[in-house]
Chain A
């Protein structure tokens, strides 16, 4: 089946630890994104990548890092520098035909809780 796979679905992190959320897509999309969702709020962009080995900061990149070594993979690391990491994280991807306005498709999300 084509789609976006995120793992793990639930993750618990101790304070001071780094954790990595996995995101894989088999839609052959060029662009990939990470969004954060807090209760009662909309989604906010953390990082995005339009091509392998290149990525850009979104609106709330502090305390996060990403890599894009393969077209189909875009892992997100939540570092110990992120002061309030407990949230729902959504990975997404899209084609880049014509630059803007392409539909962005989302994975099922990962819940991260700091304990």
Chain B
């Protein structure tokens, strides 16, 4: 069975601190896709990144970076020099193999960045 675990329910940091959000996944498929979404207080889910199982290169986008390690089934997300605007719930998700394109979500991590 496929599953996504985000063990950190809430994280609180002070502005300018670095913070890492953990994501561990389970799947029997050799081809799969991993995603991160941000949900600000307004409610909509904002797409951040998509990574396929064949590409283990880490990615950096501004203050955001992602570390994908198949050996530990992890896809962790780091925010460098956090800002108050980063406060949100962050979801990690796994796309099932096959033609359905369905997403399986973790329970999310609430990040609170204090000024």
CB pair A99–B99 under 8 Å, yes or no, is yes
Which of B37, B52, B97, B107 is A41 in contact with, Cβ under 8 Å?
B107
CB pair B101–A100 under 8 Å, yes or no, is yes
Q: Is A2 an interface residue (CB 8 A)?
A: no
Chain B: interface residue total (CB-CB under 8 A): 29
| Contacting residues, chain A, for B98 (C-beta < 8 A) | 99-100
Within 8 A of B (CB), among A57-106: 58, 88, 90, 92, 94, 96, 99-106
User: In angstroms, how far is the closest chain B Cβ from the Cβ of A28?
Assistant: 16
Q: Is B115 an interface residue (CB 8 A)?
A: no
| Contacting residues, chain B, for A15 (C-beta < 8 A) | none
User: In angstroms, how far is the closest chain A Cβ from the Cβ of B109?
Assistant: 11
CB pair A104–B44 under 8 Å, yes or no, is no
Given the known interface contacts A103-B47, A106-B44, the answer about A42 and B101 at a Cβ–Cβ threshold of 8 Å is: no
| Contacting residues, chain A, for B100 (C-beta < 8 A) | 48, 50, 56, 100
CB pair B47–A105 under 8 Å, yes or no, is yes
| Contacting residues, chain A, for B33 (C-beta < 8 A) | 100-101
- Within the assembled complex, what's the spacing in Å between the Cα atoms of A92 and B93? 14
| Contacting residues, chain B, for A94 (C-beta < 8 A) | 101
CB pair B44–A109 under 8 Å, yes or no, is yes
CB pair B97–A100 under 8 Å, yes or no, is yes
Given the known interface contacts A40-B107, A41-B107, A42-B107, the answer about A109 and B35 at a Cβ–Cβ threshold of 8 Å is: no
Given the known interface contacts A42-B106, A42-B108, A88-B43, the answer about A104 and B91 at a Cβ–Cβ threshold of 8 Å is: no
Given the known interface contacts A42-B108, A88-B43, A109-B43, the answer about A101 and B103 at a Cβ–Cβ threshold of 8 Å is: no
- Within the assembled complex, what's the spacing in Å between the Cα atoms of A33 and B72? 31
The 3 closest A-B pairs by CB, nearest first: A42-B105, A101-B33, A106-B45
Show the binding face of A for B, using Cβ within 8 Å: 31, 33, 40-45, 48, 50, 56, 58, 88, 90, 92, 94, 96, 99-109, 111
8 more A-B residue pairs beyond the given contacts A50-B100, A106-B45, with a C-beta to C-beta distance below 8 A: A50-B99, A99-B99, A100-B97, A100-B100, A104-B35, A104-B103, A106-B37, A108-B42
